[in-house]
């Protein structure tokens, strides 16, 4: 199972002398494979980049069922604290569940987070079968796979072959408290949303944009990608626009236009 992580130091000679960090989180059945090309592009701009492997991932889907949201978020906060100690400012981002992780971090850490970038974030769903998760997770271990929703031929995020239901349930349980805390998010926010997504439906993004307190919110619709847009036809759009966003939101106040 692929588990390639990424950890690169800041190169302030490329960023006007400032040390800037970016922390990216993968999704619930994925691993850093879906994030490392994005991370490498940001690293090439001079940013310190961290793409960690979440507990229970990169091995087997049964392992994921032995972990919870607390384990994943705990890992992300550890990496965030380490990165924050090494740089002047940090932007957080993520794909799918990783987007929810990034939003949670922004709500919890306030001005320690300079900005947030999310790709097809998940914090709501119209799927009725999710209502049965408390029972289903004890009856069957996993749902059919949701990974590799990629339009580009040959794209592969090396996801789990099944969706671990116990793990999924711990994530779904976090949706309501996260939605309640969205007004605590005041940081600049960049949202990428695929027009055609077979994993996360269209209910999440309007909730986010309607509840955050951020005055600087940009929503970009990706017309030629499915859910794993970071490996899809619009990946370069994500890479380039997020790099520009990081540069803007971490610039000294006098430099912001």
Catalytic site residue from 25, 89, 96, 194: 96
Element spanning 117, H or E: strand 113-119
Rg (CA), the chain: 17
Catalytic site residue from 25, 194, 227, 232: 227
- Annotation marks residue 84 as catalytic: no
Catalytic site residue from 149, 197, 232, 234: 197
Per-residue DSSP letter, 192: E
Write down the H helix ranges in 45-111: 61-64, 69-86, 97-109
- Annotation marks residue 227 as catalytic: yes
Per-residue DSSP letter, 53: P
Q: Is the dihedral of CA 24, 5, 47, 20 positive or negative?
A: positive
- Annotation marks residue 232 as catalytic: no
* Nearest alpha carbon to residue 72 among 116, 102, 117, 47: 102
Instruction: State the catalytic residues.
Output: 96, 197, 227
């Amino acid at each position: 199972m692929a588990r390639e992580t990424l950890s690169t130091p800041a190169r302030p000679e490329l960023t006007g002398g400032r040390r800037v960090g970016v922390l990216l989180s993968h999704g619930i059945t994925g691993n850093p494979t879906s994030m490392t090309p994005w991370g490498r592009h940001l690293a090439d701009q001079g940013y310190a980049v961290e793409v960690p492997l979440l507990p229970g991932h990169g091995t087997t889907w049964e392992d994921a069922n032995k972990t919870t949201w607390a384990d994943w978020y705990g890992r992300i906060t550890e990496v965030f604290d380490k990165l924050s100690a090494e740089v002047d400012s940090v932007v957080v981002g993520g794909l799918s569940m990783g987007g929810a992780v990034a939003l949670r971090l922004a709500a919890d850490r306030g001005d320690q987070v300079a900005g947030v970038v999310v790709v097809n974030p998940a914090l709501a769903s119209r799927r009725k079968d999710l209502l049965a998760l408390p029972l289903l997770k004890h009856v069957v271990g996993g749902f059919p796979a949701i990974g590799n929703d990629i339009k580009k031929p040959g794209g592969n995020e090396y996801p789990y072959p099944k969706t671990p239901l116990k793990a999924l349930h711990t994530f779904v349980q976090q949706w309501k408290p996260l939605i309640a805390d969205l007004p605590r998010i005041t940081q600049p926010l960049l949202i990428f949303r695929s027009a055609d997504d077979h994993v996360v439906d269209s209910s999440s993004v309007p909730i986010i944009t309607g509840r955050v307190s951020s005055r600087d919110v940009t929503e970009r619709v990706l017309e030629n990608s499915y859910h794993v847009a970071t490996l899809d036809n619009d990946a370069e759009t994500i890479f380039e626009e997020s790099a520009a966003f990081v540069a803007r939101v971490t610039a000294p106040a006098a430099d912001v236009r």
